[in-house]
Amino acid sequence: MSDTHRDINAIRAGSQTLLVTVTSRGTMIHLTREAGPREPRQGAVPEHYRGQAREFGYNLTEVADPRWAETTMCGRPWLLMAGGDANEDEATAAPSCRRCLALMDRLFPEPVLDERFPLVVQLVTDTITDHGYAEIRAVPGDHQSALRGQVRTAVRRRTGYGCRTYAHESMVIFVCEPIHAQREAESAGLASEGIGELLDGVPAGRVRRPWQLSWETWALGS
């Protein structure tokens, strides 16, 4: 007889619990919130799958509890909770739907930004204005979204141009093509080289470039 050693495959996001789910179409793995008081609801695992869920080590009372909304966060009807391998202690399925993940991000409280954060925004904005390109390394994950948004706003207010942003691990890069096109060929070539390094997965060299910044310079978040 199988034991019930495995918790349901759910994620805590802020004050909410989200079930990791699959649909009957496609391979994306989604997130489903708990149903509200007057909403239709369903259990994590339909009845005809519960025998298999028990073999996987799930508690049948828990997976049958009708606490979940009938659609995923991105609005799709879902089939059942995404599970793992019967031989693994933990569920291996992780959410992959970008829309669900984006909506989940909104459930987390806004990070408390360091008092020196406006200085970093100003320095990045100055660099973009001068070169049409900037990159800043070692940016904490909970500050990246705010940095990208505030720099985009600052660049547009100062120059009238928009800019694109990219994140790769702890590095955030900014590209303003109209400004970049106005700069001399040498600066344009260096910036293109930096983008190529990011896309090719090549570690950045040790040569300091005027558009290369580091979050650690100001010891933010310490």
> Could you give the CA distance from residue 199 to residue 182 in angstroms, rounded to a whole number?
24
pLDDT score, position 49: 86
H or E element: which one contains 33?
strand 29-33
pLDDT score, position 197: 59
Residue ranges covered by each domain of the chain = 10-105, 117-218
Does pLDDT of 162 surpass 90? yes
Q: Which two tokens stand for residue 55?
A: 């073999």
What pairing do the DSSP bridges indicate for beta strands 212-214 and 10-13? unpaired
pTM of the shown model: 0.58
Work out the angle at residue 209's Cα, subtended by the Cα atoms of residues 164 and 145, and round it to the nearest 5 degrees.
30
At position 11, the amino acid (one-letter code) is I
pLDDT band (50, 70, 90) for residue 188: very low
> Could you give the CA distance from residue 181 to residue 185 in angstroms, rounded to a whole number?
9
Does pLDDT of 205 surpass 70? no
Does pLDDT of 100 surpass 60? yes
Which is more confident, 220 or 134? 134
Q: Buried (b) or exposed (e) across 14-30, using 16+ Cβ within 10 A?
A: eeeebbbbbbeeeebbb
173, β-bridge pairs: 135, 166
